[in-house]
Amino acid sequence: MSVNAEAILRRTPLFARLTESEMKSLVARVSAKRFGRGELLFYEGDPCAGLFVVATGRVRIFKTSPGGREQILAMEGPGSTVAELPVFDGGSYPASASAAEDADTLFISRKDFQLFCREHPDVALRVIAMVGSRLRRLVGIIEELSFTTVRQRLVALLLRLAQEKGKADKQGIRIELGASHQELAAELGTVRELVSRNLGRLQAEGFLDVEGREILVRDLAGLKRAQSSAE
Contact 62, 70 (CB under 8 A): yes
Closest CA to 107 of 47, 72, 55: 55
Residues forming CATH 2.60.120.10 domain(s) in the chain: 5-146
- C-beta separation of 44 from 95 below 8 A: yes
**pLDDT tens profile 169-198:** 888 899 888 777 777 777 787 878 888 888
Close Cβ partners of 144 (under 8 Å, ≥ 6 residues apart): 153, 189
Contact partners, residue 95, CB within 8 Å, separation at least 6: 44, 61, 62, 63, 73
The pLDDT of residue 97: 95
Task: Please give the class, per CATH, of domain 148-230.
Answer: mainly alpha
Instruction: For the chain, give every residue range classified as CATH 1.10.10.10.
Output: 148-230
Do 216 and 209 meet the contact criterion of CB atoms below 8 Å apart? yes
Q: Does the domain formed by 5-146 have CATH 3.40.50.2000?
A: no
Provide the whole-model pTM: 0.66
Separation between Cα atoms, residue 34 and residue 63, nearest integer Å: 22
Estimate to the nearest angstrom the gap between the alpha carbon of 11 and the chain centroid: 17
pLDDT tens-digit readout, 32-85: 999 999 999 999 999 999 999 999 999 999 988 888 888 888 889 999 999 888
CB 81 within 8 A of CB 134: no
